[in-house]
Structure 1
Amino acid sequence: MPERATSDRATPDRAPGGDTTPATTSSRAEIDAFVAQVKALGAARAPGTVAGGRGRLVFALDATMSRQPTWDTACRLQADMFAEAGAVGGLDVQLVYFRGLSECRASKFVSDPKALASLMERIDCRGGHTQIGKVLSHVRRENETTKVAALVYVGDAMEEPVDDLCARAGELGLAAVPCFVFQEGHDPVAEQAFREIARLSGGAWCRFSSGAAHELGALLRAVAAYASGGRDALHRLAGRNTAAVRLLEQLR
């Protein structure tokens, strides 16, 4: 799929397939708080599925230059999540990323995690501003076409009108599309916005840092399992993923 540039006002195109100080370690309290916030999904809210029972998950990334110091770690965690989605089965994942001044691209929904991992390997960070609003609007449109189970977003900054982002997050909440927001670093402006996006969409927020890579990787895989197969998939995962156990406890 050939890449093509976007304009500032364009929606994400289809693609083929701040502070540069490294983030400090997430506290256990923050990680536990993330798991607790997943309760916002509610027992009655089922994963989004399409015909044939397949779930659809959008995975969005900030690929601007501020994320370069921890990009390799992020890619490893994201590859783990794609692999878990493939192991669980029944999940189609779309990768969305933005970078530069106006570049925002979206892959097709694919079921092969290797295809997304290959695409990740070809993405490099470039200077520019955040385009989170484009991501949220894109997910809303995708959901209007075919149900989306959830959005996972990983970023470290927010440089947009927060009220606009909150309005779009609220629309996703009304459509039962929770946003799981993982924040790198400690930017207070970004944290406030990310927490609101998670709250208004019915999702959850957690700080993402290299020091908590194993724990957060497990949470990402648990989210993928839930989006794909609901509680049954989490039960199967629980034997080898303690995050899945805690997620199950919150969903009861």
Structure 2
Amino acid sequence: MPKEKTASKNNITPEASSRADVAAFLTKANTLAKGAPASGPANGRLIFAMDATASRQPSWDNAAVLQAEMFDAVSGIGSTLDIQLVFFCGLSECKASGWCRDASRLRDYMTKVSCRAGHTQLGRVLTHVEGQARDKKINALIYVGDCFEEDLDNLAGVAGQLALKGVRAFMFQEGFDPKAETAFREIARITGGAFARFDANAADHLRALLGAVASFAVGGIAALDDYAGRNAAKDVKLLSAQLRKRS
């Protein structure tokens, strides 16, 4: 089995997998939830990025369950969505999964991750997303975190590159850290995305937000409005309002 590669300062390397894991992934990636087509291009591509430092373990465990909402929301309107998971933890670990269209596969990735103490690495996440967007269009980035320990001026330039490539960042904050809120709001503004705060103890909040962004990724504002019409969550309507102001 190949050794796991160490991430460089500006790049993220995929998790090393055994041959059996790779074979399982290729099989599952061709089977979509809700009986959707198993081949052909997806209607949207979304990167789901999360802070996996030590304080995030409870929220990470919740998100591992709630992420299925992203697939459910788009399959409900006859669409398909490719999702990649990105996370950072420890002192320098920052990884990305493969692309998948199966909620169970994404959940499997997430349940294997253990949150570990370390500093935030949002800059590396944004750089990774920008690199992925060079090869093929990415409709949206979801980022979930609770703090920010980097230089916002350095990240603003990368956020600008995301905006030029049409990648909107949806920055979801757990808690009330003022530095994190300032940074998350600014990145959302630069990319034309949106900011929202959620309560980790109220699972429905994050579930609704994930479904809203997934809907936007495959169908734009019209699909988000349709989702908002079927979901009474106040946060979803605020998300839609922010995007309209920036469109």
TM category (shorter chain) comes to: 0.7 to 0.9
Shift of 1:199: 0.7
- What root-mean-square deviation, in Å, do the aligned CA atoms of Structure 1 and Structure 2 show? 2.7
**Amino acid across the alignment from 2:115:** C
- 1:150-197 CA distances to partner (integer Å, 9 max, x unpaired)? 000001111111111111112111222110000111111111111111
Any stretches of 5+ residues in structure 2 without a counterpart? 18-24, 26-39
2:44/2:139 contact within 8 Å kept: yes
Q: 1:76 aligns with which of 65, 68, 72?
A: 65
Matches within 5 A, 1:66-215: 66-88=55-77, 89-215=79-205
Gap regions ≥5 residues in structure 1? 18-50
The normalised TM-score by structure 2 is 0.78
Runs of 4+ in structure 1 deviating by more than 6 angstroms, as ranges, are 244-250
**Deviation, structure 1 residue 129:** 0.9
Work out the CA distance in 2 between the residues paired with 1:52 and 1:70.
31
Offset, 1:237 = 4.2
Secondary structure of the corresponding residue to residue 242 of structure 1? coil
Which fold has the larger relative contact order, with Cα–Cα distance below 8 Å and residues 6 or more apart in sequence?
Answer: 1
Instruction: Tell me if 1:11 matches 2:11.
Output: yes
Identify the residue that residue 65 of structure 1 maps to in structure 2. 54
Aligned to 1:48: none
Query: Per-residue deviation at 1:126?
Result: 0.6
Q: Is the 8 A contact 1:82 1:116 kept in 2?
A: no
Aligned-residue offset at 1:76: 2.6
Q: Deviations over 1:16-64 (max 9, x none)?
A: 56xxxxxxxxxxxxxxxxxxxxxxxxxxxxxxxxx84521100001000
**For the structure 1 residues 124 and 195, does the alpha-carbon distance in structure 2 shift closer, same or farther, using more than 3 Å as the test?**
same
> What is the TM-score of this pair, normalised by structure 1?
0.76
Q: In the TM superposition, what whole-angstrom CA distance separates every residue of 1:175-232 from its partner, at most 9, and x where no partner exists? A: 2211000011111111111111111111011112124431331121011022123356
What's the % identity of the aligned pairs? 49
Across the two proteins, how many residue pairs are aligned to each other?
219
2:209 is matched with 219
State which drifts further: 195-204 or 63-72: 63-72
CA contact (8 A) 1:5 1:103 kept: no
- Which whole-Å deviations, capped at 9, do the CAs of 1:70-117 have from their partners, x for residues lacking one? 332233322333443455532100110111111111111111121101
Counterpart of 1:84, as a letter, is A
